[in-house]
Amino acid sequence: MVRSKGGRSARAIGAALVLALIASCSDSEPVAPAAPDVRDAPASNATAESPVAESPDAAAPVADASADAADPIAEERALAERMVSIACEGTLAKRPQAAQRLSAMGEAAVLAVRQVVGTTTHDLARLGPDLLRPMAELDAPDLRERLWEAVTDADYPYRPAATKWLAETARDDEWARFEPLLADPLSSVRAAALSSIATRDDRSLVPMLEAALEDRSDVVRRAAADLLVQWDRAYALRWLFEDLSRTDRFFDLETGESARYESARVLRRLLDDRALFGYQPGVDPNDPANHAALTALGAAIEARVGADERRPPAFARSTDVVVDGVLGLEIRSCRRGEYFVAIADDDRLVVGTGRPTEYALEPGASARIADLVAARFDATEGPTMWGELGCDIECYRVRVPGGPNLVLRVMKGPEEVDDLRPDLLDELVRALVAEVPTDVRPSGLGGSDDDTLRALLSTALESVGGDLR
Nearest to 263 by CA among 231, 289, 290, 224: 224
Query: Between β-strands 406-412 and 337-343, what pairing exists: parallel, antiparallel or unpaired?
Result: unpaired
Q: DSSP character for 76? A: H
The predicted pLDDT at position 208 comes to 93
3-state helix, strand, coil in the chain (%, to 5): 50, 10, 40
Percent of the chain with pLDDT over 90: 67
SS3 letters across 137-198: HCCCHHHHHHHHHHHCCCCCCCHHHHHHHHHHCCCHHHHHHHHHHHHCCCHHHHHHHCHHHH
Nearest to 276 by CA among 287, 288, 265, 268: 268
DSSP result, 416-465:
--TT-S-HHHHHHHHHHHHHS-TT---SSSSS-TT--HHHHHHHHHHHHH
Q: Residue range 398-408: average pLDDT? A: 84
Measured distance CA(363)–CA(349) in Å, rounded: 12
- Is the confidence at residue 440, as pLDDT, over 90? no
Cβ atoms within 10 Å of 154's Cβ, excluding its own: 12
Nearest to 298 by CA among 232, 241, 213: 241
Q: Which residues pair with 248 in a beta bridge?
A: none
Give 235's contacts (C-beta < 8 A, 6+ positions apart): 228, 305, 308, 310, 311
Measured distance CA(143)–CA(118) in Å, rounded: 11
Q: Residue range 252-275: average pLDDT? A: 93
User: Are the beta carbons of 297 and 305 closer than 8 angstroms?
Assistant: no
Q: Residue range 303-332: average pLDDT? A: 94
Domains of the chain: 44-157 (no CATH), 176-320 (no CATH), 324-465 (3.30.1560)
For residues 354 and 377, the model is more confident at: 354
Cβ atoms within 10 Å of 50's Cβ, excluding its own: 14
Measured distance CA(462)–CA(447) in Å, rounded: 15
pLDDT-derived band at 274 (thresholds 50, 70, 90) equals confident
Nearest to 124 by CA among 144, 150, 98, 91: 150
Coil, helix or strand at residue 330: strand
Q: Residue range 220-235: average pLDDT? A: 96
Measured distance CA(127)–CA(415) in Å, rounded: 11
For residues 131 and 450, the model is more confident at: 131
For residues 416 and 310, the model is more confident at: 310
Measured distance CA(441)–CA(452) in Å, rounded: 4
The predicted pLDDT at position 202 comes to 87
CA angle 331, 442, 355 (to 5 degrees): 70
Phi, psi of 300 (to 5 degrees): -65, -40
Instruction: Report the C-alpha dihedral over residues 429, 432, 434, 439, rounded to 10 degrees.
Output: -120
Nearest to 219 by CA among 243, 202, 196: 243
Nearest to 344 by CA among 367, 321, 318: 367
Cβ atoms within 10 Å of 407's Cβ, excluding its own: 17
- Is the confidence at residue 36, as pLDDT, over 80? no
Cβ atoms within 10 Å of 20's Cβ, excluding its own: 16
For residues 434 and 61, the model is more confident at: 434
pLDDT-derived band at 201 (thresholds 50, 70, 90) equals confident
The predicted pLDDT at position 442 comes to 73
> pLDDT tens digits, residue range 86-128?
999 999 999 999 999 999 999 999 999 999 999 999 999 999 9
Instruction: Report the C-alpha dihedral over residues 51, 53, 57, 63, rounded to 10 degrees.
Output: 150
pLDDT-derived band at 403 (thresholds 50, 70, 90) equals confident
Kindly report the average pLDDT of the chain as a whole number.
Answer: 84
User: Are the beta carbons of 2 and 74 closer than 8 angstroms?
Assistant: no
Nearest to 75 by CA among 60, 63, 58, 87: 63
Coil, helix or strand at residue 338: strand
Contacts 24+ apart (CB under 8 A), 16-20: 16/389, 17/389, 17/409, 17/411, 19/92, 20/92, 20/389
Give 189's contacts (C-beta < 8 A, 6+ positions apart): 151, 159, 160, 163, 181
User: Are the beta carbons of 443 and 315 closer than 8 angstroms?
Assistant: no
pTM, two decimal places = 0.79
Give 43's contacts (C-beta < 8 A, 6+ positions apart): 27, 96, 129, 130, 132, 133, 158, 160, 161, 164, 165
The predicted pLDDT at position 52 comes to 40
The predicted pLDDT at position 439 comes to 86
Listed in sequence order, the DSSP H helices in 231-287 are 237-243, 255-271
Q: Give, to the nearest 10 degrees, the angle between helix 365-376 and helix 423-435.
A: 170
pLDDT-derived band at 147 (thresholds 50, 70, 90) equals very high
Burial of 53-72, coded b for 16+ CB within 10 Å and e otherwise, reads eeeeebeebeeebeeeeeee
